[in-house]
Amino acid sequence: MSARTRQSLRFPARQGGRRRRAWPAAAAVAIGVMTLGVLAPPAASDSAAPAAAAARQDAVQRALNTLVRDDGMPAALASVQDRNGRARTYTAGVGDLTTGAKVPRDGQVRIGSNTKTFTAVVVLQLVAERRVSLDAFVDTYLPGLVRGKGIDGGRITVRQLLQHTSGLPDYGMHLDDDEIRNRYFEPRELLDLALEHPATAAPGKKWGYSNTNYVLAGLIVQKVTGRPLAEEMDRRIIKRIGLRHTYFPAPVR
């Protein structure tokens, strides 16, 4: 899932052989908005408002500068809107490390794991339609698909997938950052990679963040609806709430 407009931020290739943590550009947006929320005071008097607004703006810019300077991001982009509807866009770093071009103020942003929210909404809509049960086992919808070392889809519920309590290993821990960034993987490829590794815990016994959970949730959506996850997200969420610049970039077949 990507929020896109007309231009993109160009990320650098990974340096050396060490696996480096990947931060999507969306992280900059999240931190910028979160910083504003933390620092925003109750309604200020007219005389105090300009000073308070300036302080908030400086805090957002400092947060973006820190992302680039200390966290190794090539660029950061944030747009903040105040209670009166006035918006301001902040940037830091460069949009292309090769040319040194400025960060595009309407740049494309991959929202990364925020996509999980969309997947969960579709699953919960199917629950409301009584087409999926949160307490049903994965095998109910994907019989025999989830098997591995200490892993059994007949013991993992849909609820545990959404809550990250399934004990499924995270395929993301076994992929290079550049692979994730620059190549499309079929859901089954990612699932098969995860299933090469043992369970991290028994189902329901421990919380542990795993991207594999939401790959399976997406596969359940596709099996139940008979349509690609991208189409279901577009039909059920994106078009309904008017997200004109948001789309799922994966192939739709």
* Closest by Cα among 72, 69, 90 to 81: 90
- The pLDDT score that the predictor gives to residue 79 is 87
Share of the chain above pLDDT 70, in %: 75
Task: Say if residue 78 is in the same domain as residue 135.
Answer: no
Range of the domain at 22: 2-110
Q: Is a pLDDT exceeding 50 seen at residue 218?
A: yes
Boundary (domain end) residue, out of 110, 141, 167? 110
Same domain, 177 and 232: yes
**Spacing of C-alpha 148 from chain mean position:** 26
Give catalytic residue positions: 113
Residues 106 and 201 in one domain: no
Rg (CA), the chain: 21
Q: Are 33 and 80 in contact (CB under 8 A)?
A: yes
pLDDT value at 42 more than 50:
no
Span 99-117, average pLDDT: 89
Query: Do 130 and 97 belong together in one domain?
Result: no
Is 253 contained in some domain?
A: no
Compare 153 and 35 and report the one with higher pLDDT: 153
120 and 236 inside one domain: yes
Q: Does residue 198 contact residue 149 with C-beta atoms inside 8 Å?
A: yes
Q: What is the mean pLDDT of residues 58-68?
A: 91
CATH code of the domain in which 221 resides: 3.40.710.10
pLDDT digits (tens, 9 = 90+) for 111-150: 889 999 999 999 999 999 999 999 999 999 999 999 999 9
Digit-coded pLDDT (tens) for 140-182: 999 999 999 999 999 999 999 999 999 999 999 998 877 777 7
Q: Are residues 104 and 126 in the same domain?
A: no
Quote the pTM value. Answer: 0.71
